[in-house]
Amino acid sequence: MTEFTPFQSLFGGALIGLSAVLLMAFHGRVAGMTGILSGVIPPVPADWRWRAAFLAGAAVAPVLYLLAGGAIAFHVAVTTGALIFGGLLVGIGVNFGGGCPSGHGVCGIARLSPRSIVAVLTFMATAFATVYLVRHVIGA
C-alpha cells in the first residue's frame, strides 16, 4: 500500500508544470524527459549541454530535498528481470511514441496537441491493462 497524498501530489504536480513553463519561457523547449534524455545519448545533437544541465538538476534536487529534512517514499516491488524487461519496453516505446508522461501528458496536453492526447490515452490504457494482468490474472 502507498498513502494517498492529494495535497502533496497536487503541489508537486504544479512544480512539474512550473518547470515546463519556465523551460518554454527561457529555452523555448518542451519539458519532455524522453526528448531531453535522448539528447544526451550519443550521437548527441549540438545543444546537448543544456539537456545535461537539466538532467543534473532533476537528479540533484531530490537529494537536496532530503538533506533539507524532506521525506521521500521510494519502494520497488518488482523483480530485477521486470525492471530490465520493462525498461527495454519503456525505451523502445517512448522513442517510437515520441514522448512520455512529462512530454505528452503535461506539456503536450497543455498545448492541446492531438498527438499527445492520443498518446496519453493509449499509454494509460495499456498501463492499466498491464497492471491488471500482472497483479490479478498472472499473479492471482
Partner 1 sequence: MNKLISAFAIGSIFGLGIAISGMINPAKVLNFFDIAGSWDPSLLFVMGGGLATAFIGYRLVFSRQKAPVFEADFASPDKRNIDGQLIGGAAVFGIGWGIAGFCPGGAIPALGLLYPQTPIFLAAMIAGIIIARIIKARLPSTAPA
- Positions 39 through 78 that interact with partner 1 (CB under 8 A): 41, 49-51, 53-66, 70, 72-78
Closest approach, Cβ 41 to partner 1, in A, equals 6
Cα–Cα distance, 15 to 97 (Å, whole number): 25
Our finding on whether 132 is near partner 1 (CB under 8 A) is yes
Cα–Cα distance, 31 to 104 (Å, whole number): 9
User: What character string, x for contact with partner 1 (CB under 8 A) and - otherwise, covers 3-22?
Assistant: xxxxxxxxxxxxxxxxxxxx
Closest approach, Cβ 89 to partner 1, in A, equals 3
Q: Per-residue DSSP letters for 62-125? A: HHHHHHTT--------S-HHHHHHHHHHHHHHHHHHT--IIIIIIIIHHTT-HHHHHHHHHHHH
Closest approach, Cβ 108 to partner 1, in A, equals 8
**Binder to partner 1 among 44, 46, 69, 131 (CB under 8 A)?**
131
Cα–Cα distance, 34 to 108 (Å, whole number): 13
Residues 69-128 that bind partner 1 (CB under 8 A): 70, 72-78, 80, 82-111, 113-115, 118-120, 122-128
Q: Binders of partner 1: how many residues, by CB under 8 A?
A: 114
Longest Cα separation, the chain: 50
Closest approach, Cβ 99 to partner 1, in A, equals 8
Closest approach, Cβ 69 to partner 1, in A, equals 13
C-alpha cell at 51: 539537456
With H, G, I as helix, E, B as strand and everything else as coil, classify residue 3.
Answer: coil
